[in-house]
Structure 1
């Protein structure tokens, strides 16, 4: 019995020494003091007993009450040590020794719980002691949580913010958050450090000093080990979230709901899109990666906590950015919105690698997937805008033919629209190819599917067909067949010219260009035929019908009819319009080239009749030069009056 009592006494002494000792050296010193009171506490005996039996205090076949006493004493000691820090009004991390001793006490408490927890399962007294330990641990964690928050907030307040508003704040040694003592007088305590719009994205923001990050890391390790991972992530994210959201706000981005975006006037929305594009790039290329870096350093070796914290910090700002893009995607399909929707689409597309790299953990997968979904939705919006352009062409009324057979507004609008759109050709190709077989375009007249796997070239070709069909219908509203051909020629020439000097040429192809150039030439021929053929017919002379007796009368009648026809044509066609200068010149040359020789031959024959030659001024109103001058006044659309010799 005595031997058994000695063993327990030695074990208790050793545990007390271990509990009180902060280091192995301190423990050895305490054991040395014990040995001066009783030889049984010599280092040799304690070491021997420990090697033979292990720690095992309170465990085994002997009386467990000694173990209870040791545990009780340990908890009381730790309670006293931890409580003095938990109850203090001063920040613990304001003193290096205090913070170190507080963490050591927490480590000892965690070790005690870990050592005794297996025994507590079937030992109610031990379980009650561990309940006390858990309560003490919880108090310690609450204080650690407060210290964690104070460290972040205090460090954030120490940064000088004035440099962020200066033009040279970008790219300053890859650090936008440094402190200049010369600016201290202008520091505004209500502001927090934020990132400003930049063009150089090769920047990393160290918003917390490395020493603070090291302290935060030590706290985070204890909180995660104690099972307070979510609490640690929450306090971290609540502090950093404010920083990030204020940074986004300082970039000019408003926190708008989808409904507010959709109700916004288009001019305001255009400006908001510009700000969104800049803000999204700064967020994904600077702010979010910097937050990821801070999380990974603070929670080094604690990947789950790092991922959870990062997600909670960035979720609100990311959703804000994505909601705006989504509002644009599901908004109006008005054709004029195409170019801004393309801007949003391209911005989000170009940022997808950043989404993949930054949001690459289990907690952020929802954000990453949502970004990809909204990007695809923007592609759907772009395709929808092209469908609305088709509807706009179909709805344009045929009765709206322009006076003078000039260029129709629908032609100008569609061609300039398509030319501008093709400035983003590669993006549009991606949009239509990505859609695969979901996009189908139908011929409104024949209900004929154009393509089941739409590409940009097929889409553009179909829009051109719709435009031509619309113009054909409009041309039929002109009563004058010649004016109808001038209308088609004007619009056809404009279409061909717009195609030739743009990306449309390669999209539509050489065959398309040759075909439509041929159509314009045919219109030219049709104009000559329908407008001037009867005039030229009058000037034709049949020698068999021109006898000395009949020649004077026939020639007088012909010159009179010619003058009448010519005046009518010039009077009506003086109001016609050919806006393309080269086409106008070609038409005049063509008309004069056919008319002048025929009229000159006619006048030559006219002068061979003596009766007519003596009184030619009485019968002949126009000279060849007058005819050419009148022809050169055609197609100006100014309604010029008839002229010439009397």
Structure 2
């Protein structure tokens, strides 16, 4: 990243911080205005409550003085008076807490939380005394109403009025607790402080593509104990008053936003590719390795950090609370999008390359298995676990399905035509390279695990020979294809060249995983077949030119002067026709190509040299005959050395690599076509 990009990134982060600060100040001003209004209401409410309590006390006193001859209710009336007095004392205790709870909690959070708790206890005491007094009054009212000894109806009305006042007091305070009273305002301020502390201590994790390498890991910041204590204290108070859900919502919002900011360092645009584009595995092949690195990075660093933070902050509340928060943050961290990308890959068309890519996906998931079990335990993460299980099931079933189809896919290519230049078919080179990949140290252990799991689902045992047997079947089908293709050439000589090329290709598998699996006898057999078809080719082509130069032997020319020009002309015609016919033929292996050229040159040039020497001696006086010589010995040799050249030299080195890659891709797509058929 250059300086301009780094500066731009820093500016964006600064703007995000400024915007967050502006929103916080705006919110604080709105809360302050609400608090001011609430204070006015609280003051008026307290005055009303005080007046009603005083009236209650005054109205009950005459009743206590009544002389009830039939019922002894004095003690009960005194109990009501005591409860009413306790209500007044609670109101007196609440007044000193008002100023403290209207301040900013950030200045002294510990004191603020302590005062909040005191207010809670005072209100609880108030509620309890109101309920107690209300119960006493209810009994008194029922007694007075039932007894005829009460002649003064005013007493009964006073009791009834006092009961109504207590009920109103209780209802008013309950409403104040829930809808804008001082305690509710204090909780609002604690929520704001909780969010402020989280924002101030939430810094994006420095993720980058380099971070996923072995030697570089993102440093997960530690959570200061002082911060943890503050956040836990706020959570405790909010939970005790039914505000835990709001607290968790704030936590998920802040930490989720921080997780998304951490992911901005990675290019995750490929996660948004439409599902329709996953039909062709080759169109998204390059993204799969990137997907694996990013998923590993997110799980091992970002989600590990969020899991650790959530469990630490909410540990006193219980696992259900912190796992619920973490699950929502994980979803905001695109974990489901990562898993869905893998599911989309499994839905692409059947292709041999898809098998390798599914094994790569399995490798990533297998490496993350313990980490996923650690992170996504509990009911809150059930959705993530279900999607993960679905992905694993699809990967294993899809990989095994392709693996078992490989021999049949090779067989389906049998009706196709072989290369017109007699070279090694793209399918053959691709399949041998592909088998080497499957047998290599990268993919064979993964394929073994996948097959073991798949067979265990079917209650079948895995055998070590399964992979080798399947690869042997693939090679066997290739051999049958080669025999079939060789018979489709109209020119028998070209079929010899074709078989020579392919047997050479198979013999060259020595010291490869496939060659080692097939064994020395198999490799030697292909070497012998290569030499056999090379001999047939030489005999059926260039061997036919030698009798034209010398009908008796290959090393001398003894012909009459009249026959010499005819022989030369016949040789020229046959040589030109031979070169023209073979001008497009190819020998893929460089060593074989050079060896065959050398055999042709050593077989033709010495005889041509001897013939031309005698020709020159015989026709030295025939100027017309001398001028009719078409090829000098160097020219003839040069033409022979130019045979069978690969027609790729016009491509540059990079273009040649791209061309070969394109060929392999086309070969792989043949399997897709075969499966469709």
Band of TM-score, shorter chain: 0.5 to 0.7
Is structure 2 residue 312 aligned with structure 1 residue 297?
Answer: yes
Q: How does 1:128-143 map to 2 (within 5 A)?
A: none
Task: Give the equivalent residue in structure 2 for 1:154.
Answer: 196
| 1:102 aligned onto 2:116 | yes
Instruction: Name which of 448, 451, 472 aligns with 2:483.
Output: 472
Aligned to 2:531: 521
Structure 2 CA distance for aligned equivalents of residues 86 and 523 of structure 1:
104
What is the rounded CA distance, in whole Å, between the counterparts of 1:71 and 1:319 in structure 2? Answer: 59
CA distance in 1, matches of 2:173, 2:322: 27
> Is the contact made by 1:528 and 1:591 (CA closer than 8 Å) also made in structure 2?
yes
Q: Does 1:486 align with 2:503?
A: no
Classify 1:621/1:326 alpha carbon distance in 2 versus 1 (closer, same or farther; 3 Å). Answer: closer
Q: d(CA) in 1 for partners of 2:445 and 2:590?
A: 35
* Distance in 2, Cα, partners of 1:569 & 1:397: 30
Counterpart selection for 2:596 from 580, 587, 603: 587
Equivalent position to 2:443, from 424, 427, 431: 427
Pairwise CA distance, 1:287: 1.4
- Aligned match of 1:237: 252
Q: Deviation digits for residues 112-141 of structure 1, max 9, x if unmatched?
A: 999x99xxxxxx99xx99999987876799
* Cα separation, partners in 2 of 1:531 and 1:364, compared to 1, 3 Å: same
Equivalent position of 1:346 in the other structure: 363
The whole-number CA distance in structure 1 between the counterparts of 2:523 and 2:86 is: 97
Structure 1 566/196 Cα, relative in aligned 2: closer, same or farther at 3 Å? closer
Query: Would you say the 8 A contact 1:75–1:133 is kept in 2?
Result: no
Unaligned ranges ≥5, structure 1: 1-61, 118-123, 161-176, 178-192, 440-450, 543-550, 639-646
Q: 1:65 to 1:363 in 2, by over 3 A?
A: farther
Q: Which is further off, 239-248 or 137-146?
A: 137-146
Kindly state the Cα deviation for residue 195 of structure 1 after the two structures are TM-superposed: 4.2
Contact 1:436 1:453 in 2 (8 A): no
- Cα distance in 2 for residues equivalent to 1:78 and 1:298: 35
In the aligned structure 1, how far is the partner of 2:123 from the partner of 2:521?
Answer: 84
The corresponding residue for 1:185 is: none
Residue deviations 1:447-499, cap 9 Å, x none? xxxx99885544444443444433433322211222102112223323443x3
In the TM superposition, 1:572-611 aligns within 5 A as 572-591=581-600
State the TM-score, normalizing by the size of structure 1: 0.60
| 1:211 alignment counterpart | 226
Distance, in Å, in 2 between the alignment partners of 1:65 and 1:427 is 89
Q: How many residues align?
A: 511
CA distance in 2 between counterparts of 1:374 and 1:436 reads: 17
User: Are the structure 2 counterparts of residues 340 and 472 from structure 1 closer, same or farther at C-alpha, using a change threshold of 3 Å?
Assistant: same
Q: Please give the alpha-carbon distance, in whole angstroms, between the structure 1 residues aligned to 2:127 and 2:330.
A: 35
Given that 2:104 and 2:189 are in contact with CA atoms closer than 8 Å, whether structure 1 keeps it comes out as yes
- Residues 540 and 276 from structure 1, CA distance in 2 versus in 1: closer, same or farther, beyond 3 angstroms? same
Alignment of 1:172-251 (within 5 A): 177=203, 193=204, 195-197=206-208, 199=211, 200-201=216-217, 203-206=219-222, 210-224=225-239, 230=245, 232-251=247-266
| Residues 1:635 and 2:652 aligned together | no
1:367 aligns with 2:367: no
Which moved further from structure 2: 594-603 or 366-375?
A: 594-603
Whole-Å separation in 1 of the counterparts to 2:171 and 2:642: 107
**Post-superposition shift, 1:349?**
3.0
CA displacement, residues 482-517 of structure 1 (integer Å, 9 cap, x when unaligned): 2102112223323443x3464444455545434433
Q: Residue 245 of structure 1: CA displacement?
A: 3.3
Task: State how far apart, in whole Å, the 2-side matches of 1:427 and 1:86 are.
Answer: 71
Matching residue within 311, 314, 330 for 2:330: 314
Query: How far off its partner does 1:259 sit?
Result: 4.5
Unmatched tracts of structure 2, length 5 or more: 1-74, 132-137, 140-166, 456-461, 554-558, 648-677
* Aligned counterpart, 1:377: 394
TM-aligned CA distance change 1:135 to 1:494, over 3 Å: farther
User: Residue 357 of structure 1 is aligned with which of 364, 374, 379?
Assistant: 374
In 2, distance between residues paired with 1:526 and 1:67?
124
Residue 93 of structure 2 contacts residue 122 of structure 2 at CA under 8 Å; is this kept in 1? no
> CA offsets per residue over residues 314-344 of structure 1, 9 Å max, x none?
2343222222222223234445566665554
Give the whole-Å Cα distance in 2 for the aligned partners of 1:86 and 1:511.
Answer: 97
Q: TM-score, normalised by structure 2?
A: 0.58
Go from structure 1 to structure 2 and tell me whether the alpha carbon gap of 1:410 and 1:78 turns closer, same or farther (over 3 Å shift).
farther
CA distance in 2, matches of 1:67, 1:255: 73
CA distance in 1, matches of 2:418, 2:116: 88
- Summarize the Cα distance change of 1:107–1:289 in structure 2 as closer, same or farther, 3 Å threshold: farther
